[in-house]
Chains A and B, each alone.
Chain A
Amino acid sequence: MLTGLLGGISIHMMRRLNASAVRRNNDALERGDMNVLVRIHVMSILRDGARAALVTAVGLALAAGAGELLVGGLAVRGAMVVAVVVIGASLAAGAAGTLRLIGRGPDLRWFAAGLLGGVAGAWLK
């Protein structure tokens, strides 16, 4: 989740850098200079690749650090509590997001039908 937060912030920063590159080369772009256009595009893609690599590295480091901290530091039931509340939060986000998408229109009936079907499927399994 912290990695996701960092990802969002870094995308915003990267887009501002892209905008600076566009502003600096505005005259050349208005002249239809294809080399400048392609250079800006390719540099932006490379910048995004570097950003993604950095966010991934930080995410992996955080995961490794959290593993070290939690494995020795928490009892089994404590670790279970953390796991189930995070799973519950993710299920809540999925459900709330879907309800926001569907709204209060006719698709709500289809959602309810799907819920009933899912409950029946889970019961039978």
Chain B
Amino acid sequence: MVRRGAARRRRRCVAQVKPPLARCLLRLFTVQGSWNYERMLGIGFGVAEEPLLRGLEPQEKGPMYRAAVARGAHFFNAHPYLCGMAVGAAARAEHDGAPAEQIERLRTALSGPLGSLGDRLVWAGWLPLNSGLALAGIALGLGWSAIVGFLVLYNIGHLGLRWWALRAGWNYGLRVGEALRRPFLRRGAAVVAPAMAVAIGAALPLTTVYLGSPFPGWARLVLAGAALAGVLLLQWRRLGLTGLRLGLGFAGLGLVVAVVWR
């Protein structure tokens, strides 16, 4: 009864506290800076979470604060843009007096969903979509405007997602699963994937023509042949080729032909 009352009082106090989310957000830009094979994002997570843990107890840097800092630096991995959701949720759970095991379980439970959602929304969605638009823009003669447009548009989405994730994590705390079920996230993933496919599909032929335009006819045929051969080789999974190995191989072959054909 006393513990429940104390937890309720602490939640009311948390609701009145204005958390230093901006400072936390700035630190989140460095969250991958100490990525390692022991704790992955853990160290960066702990550093980013620390401002939100101040005021956890009246005594500055007391035992509760140190225990929370230690927990914050434990193993964690997720998409860097959505990492803030786990940071905010874990910090809020600390303030709400959740048991340590529950906070650890929360962090573990969030790793997978935040990683997969971020990969779908950003690495396989927002980034290639904007890259495709920029490439198409350059090929159509927009020049620097296409590049500036890419930087502006991409970062509006990127920064908006980081800020939303951190705030949602702090506001929802242990109920952060509700934030992940928000319709706009599902709709976003459903819209950004086909948009990315259209943008890259359009950019490929436009970029091919743009890059081939300075060369004479025979060189353009060689370019088209190399591109087609490259796609087929990369689709042949047994070869285990990556784009980098393909490029190095083709460069080597090109040098041999160039030396012989002098």
Contact = CB atoms under 8 A, between A and B. Distances in A.
Q: Do A and B come from one complex?
A: yes
B148 interface: no
B197 A110 contact: yes
Contacts of B201: 98, 110-118
A10 B209 CA distance: 35
Contacts of A30: 70
Interface residues of B, number: 79
B180 interface: no
B76 to A, nearest CB: 13
Interface in B193-233: 193-209, 211-212, 215-216, 219-220, 222-231, 233
A55 to B, nearest CB: 14
A48 to B, nearest CB: 6
Interface stretch (B96-104, B107-115, B254-262): B254-262
Nearest to B124: A101
Given A1-B247, A121-B140, A41 B30 contact: yes
B202 A75 contact: no
Contacts of B223: 84-85, 87-88, 91
Where chain A touches its partner, the secondary structure class is helix
Nearest to B222: A84
B193 A119 contact: no
Given A92-B226, A110-B201, A31 B244 contact: no
B253 interface: yes
B222 A93 contact: no
A105 to B, nearest CB: 9
Interface stretch (B33-41, B82-90, B156-164): B33-41
A96 B230 contact: yes
Contacts of B194: 106-107, 110
B186 to A, nearest CB: 16
Contacts of B193: 102, 107
B248 interface: yes
Chain B CB count within 10 A is highest, among A95, A110, A118, for A118
Contacts of A99: 231, 235
Given A1-B248, A85-B254, A91-B227, A80 B234 contact: no
27 contacts: A1-B247, A1-B251, A19-B37, A22-B39, A29-B70, A29-B73, A33-B66, A41-B33, A81-B257, A81-B258, A81-B261, A84-B222, A85-B222, A85-B254, A86-B250, A87-B212, A87-B227, A88-B229, A89-B249, A90-B243, A95-B227, A98-B197, A101-B124, A110-B197, A111-B200, A114-B202, A125-B140
Interface of B: 30, 33-39, 43-44, 46-47, 50, 61, 65-70, 73, 124, 128, 132, 136, 139-140, 193-209, 211-212, 215-216, 219-220, 222-231, 233-235, 243-244, 246-251, 253-255, 257-259, 261-262
